[in-house]
Copies of this chain bind each other. A is one copy, B any other.
């Protein structure tokens, strides 16, 4: 139902088609990347963004890169491949999923090094498609597992963009809403605009409208009033990192929303793949919070809207304590009342396969 964020078109000599997210929501434009340089540029300039989507873009980028390697010998091919992955890695050096995707591609090449170059190339294309497909399956499963929490006729609040644009096509928090819609439920979504970068108004509102879901945009500071008016019956958000005890780092403002939900007796759900859990982190106190440029706040929309020289505090994330979370919805199942024990119970079975 959602529009595909990134797709491979054709065979081993094909190309990548992606939505240029920098132009949303005013323009929906598909960009076609035919060579290595163009996908590098697309990743660099945030035409494609969101952790899983970047991983897929990197893997598909490798396939574009190897089109240009015209050697017959596998050893030479593998050396050339290394140049391709190093180059792609330089597009967004802090994106963990990019390196994860590139490493998977290198591993597959190694595993096939006794085959012909043509066969290795084929294996690499298949791996890129597999990475994309795995992400789709995970997102669909999160949608399945979460949709039961969405009642017909209910209102749902979401914050930031945990949608298809950040993944292969279906998202995490929004996957639950897409699935509920597919089940024929009538839902009404309230999307926080999500200052400073407005992912809610630019991306979430756009995605939901394209999926035919009734969406109403609000400013972040209106959410409590919306809850008081009983316009929403639950909150659902994504996650950037989840600690071993269930404390969840997500886009700044998520913590506020969790407090308001608690105050109004509204369930608060987190939807995220199992890979979001970082069991090396004991609790939310140990999650580092990135602080970003003051200009995001003072020049939000190109135009200065704050006094020159004003101090700005611009944390990109905050941490919602596990006690504020009704349940964490993953592709492997739902963790109600998240705690070390409840998380271990679900992850114990799956953690080795997913990290």
Residues of A within 8 A of B (CB): 25-26, 159, 190, 192-196, 198, 201-202, 205-206, 209, 214-226, 228, 252-253, 255-256, 259-260, 262-263, 297-298, 300-315, 318-319
Contact with A301, one of B202, B219, B300, B315 (Cβ below 8 angstroms): B300
Name the residue in A195, A256, A319 with the highest tally of chain B Cβ atoms < 10 Å from its Cβ: A256
Main secondary structure of the interface of A (DSSP, over half): mixed
Which of chain B's residues have a CB closer than 8 A to the CB of A209? 307, 309-310
Assess the A218–B297 pair: CB atoms within 8 A.
Answer: yes
Known A-B contacts A193-B297, A201-B298, A300-B301; the reply to A252 vs B311 at CB < 8 A is no
Assess the B217–A312 pair: CB atoms within 8 A.
Answer: yes
Which of chain B's residues have a CB closer than 8 A to the CB of A192? 221
Which of chain B's residues have a CB closer than 8 A to the CB of A312? 216-218
Which of chain B's residues have a CB closer than 8 A to the CB of A301? 300-303, 305
Which of chain B's residues have a CB closer than 8 A to the CB of A255? 224-225, 228
Assess the A216–B318 pair: CB atoms within 8 A.
Answer: no
Assess the B215–A195 pair: CB atoms within 8 A.
Answer: no
Chain copies in the assembled complex: 2
Would you give the shortest CB distance from A47 to chain B, in whole angstroms? 18
Q: List 28 A-B contacts (CB under 8 A).
A: A25-B308, A26-B307, A193-B306, A194-B221, A195-B221, A198-B306, A201-B298, A201-B306, A201-B307, A205-B306, A209-B310, A215-B311, A216-B311, A216-B312, A217-B306, A217-B310, A217-B312, A218-B297, A218-B313, A220-B221, A221-B256, A224-B256, A225-B256, A259-B259, A259-B263, A300-B301, A302-B303, A303-B303
Which of chain B's residues have a CB closer than 8 A to the CB of A218? 297, 312-314
Contact with A307, one of B190, B194, B205 (Cβ below 8 angstroms): B205
Assess the B260–A215 pair: CB atoms within 8 A.
Answer: no
Would you give the shortest CB distance from A304 to chain B, in whole angstroms? 6
Which of chain B's residues have a CB closer than 8 A to the CB of A300? 300-301
Known A-B contacts A306-B193, A307-B209; the reply to A297 vs B219 at CB < 8 A is yes
Q: How far is the CA of A307 from the CA of B202 in the complex (A)?
A: 7
Assess the B25–A318 pair: CB atoms within 8 A.
Answer: no
Assess the A252–B313 pair: CB atoms within 8 A.
Answer: no
Assess the B307–A25 pair: CB atoms within 8 A.
Answer: yes
Nearest opposing residue in chain B for A260, CB measure:
B259
For the complex with contacts A205-B307, A206-B307, 19 further pairs of A-B residues with Cβ separation under 8 Å are A25-B305, A25-B306, A193-B297, A202-B305, A205-B306, A205-B310, A209-B307, A217-B297, A217-B306, A219-B314, A220-B253, A221-B221, A221-B252, A222-B313, A224-B259, A256-B260, A259-B263, A300-B300, A301-B302
